[in-house]
Structure 1
């Protein structure tokens, strides 16, 4: 068999195993289009036979902790830029049909990137103008109103 044939066969085998994992776990195929997927394959290629896959414990414990720390540092970096650039405070309502709860998520957009701020459960509340004014006042207090340049909301589902 030629080298080209071996590479094609190995690529096909890799694709089938990745496919089985995606099918078994219900992973959306679009996950291959994220910037995180190609590096996985590259690291596996370089790792060789001596490296064992991460365990469920490692993924849900120490590795997750490292990722959370990295995201916290990134969000803090975003926040450091807010006094210079300002932010767009965004909110979006959504309904969890499984547990029948309504939420409003708050995010801050700046030129550095988008940061998730908080999610409020609004299921057991009367959603009138006064409610939303109080809710938005609370998040504006947390962010500091001097940083907010504009406010964008889409609360169709939570209203």
Structure 2
């Protein structure tokens, strides 16, 4: 047993049978409040870098297991990367104006003078929202996410028939090698 749990058990037994442990909800709420406070301390420590060197504002949209659409907002500055907030956009029409409005809210909270660059997906609605942000805040420039662009390029390349056939053959060779210990040991 770890020393932490041993100390905790010693403390509880020292109090006696009249001790009432906190409920699951009370523990969870306290932990969540502590995590929120820690996140706020990190964000506040990064604010000075935002003012000195500026920062890059990133919006990353994704769908999680329950088929709900989230957009995470992150900031990258000289001190590092920090999470700002996440917005459930499942019930929001993701057109240029609604995305632009959503981005503007976060930009104004951060301070438009602190942001130099906005990075989003390169879907048509995000591109149009980037243009609207650039019109509203002239000091902020938009660009597509390089990783997203590379993923789309590689997806297009992998759908080419000769590349797809090559990948299939390579997969068969890999399965063969991993299923035969002699070849696997020789490879290693």
TM range (shorter): 0.5 to 0.7
**Length-normalised TM-score, structure 1:** 0.55
Cα contact 1:104–1:155 (8 A) shared by 2: no
2:94 match: secondary structure: coil
* Larger Rg computed on CA atoms: 2
Deviation at 1:150, TM superposition (A): 0.9
Q: Where does residue 128 of structure 1 map in the other structure? A: 95
Q: Where does residue 90 of structure 1 map in the other structure? A: 58
Whether 2:79 is the aligned partner of 1:115: answer no
Alpha-carbon separation, structure 2, partners of 1:117 and 1:48: 32
Q: Where does residue 37 of structure 2 map in the other structure? A: 69
Uncovered stretches (5+) of structure 2, i.e. residues with no partner = 10-20, 127-188
Uncovered stretches (5+) of structure 1, i.e. residues with no partner = 1-13, 15-43
Aligned residues: 112
**Length-normalised TM-score, structure 2:** 0.48
The root-mean-square deviation of aligned C-alpha atoms, in Å, is 3.1
Deviation at 1:110, TM superposition (A): 1.0
Alpha-carbon separation, structure 2, partners of 1:118 and 1:80: 19
Partner deviation per Cα, 1:95-132 (whole Å, 9 max, x = no partner): 1231x321111111112122221222222222222222
Greater displacement, 61-70 / 126-135: 61-70
Deviation at 1:155, TM superposition (A): 7.2
Q: Following superposition of structure 1 onto structure 2, how do residues 49-68 of structure 1 map, counting pairs within 5 Å?
A: 50-52=6-8, 60=28, 65-68=33-36
> If each structure's helix is expressed as a fraction of its own residues, which one has the higher value?
2
Alpha-carbon separation, structure 1, partners of 2:85 and 2:4: 41
1:51 match: secondary structure: helix
Larger RCO (alpha carbons 8 Å, 6+ apart): 1
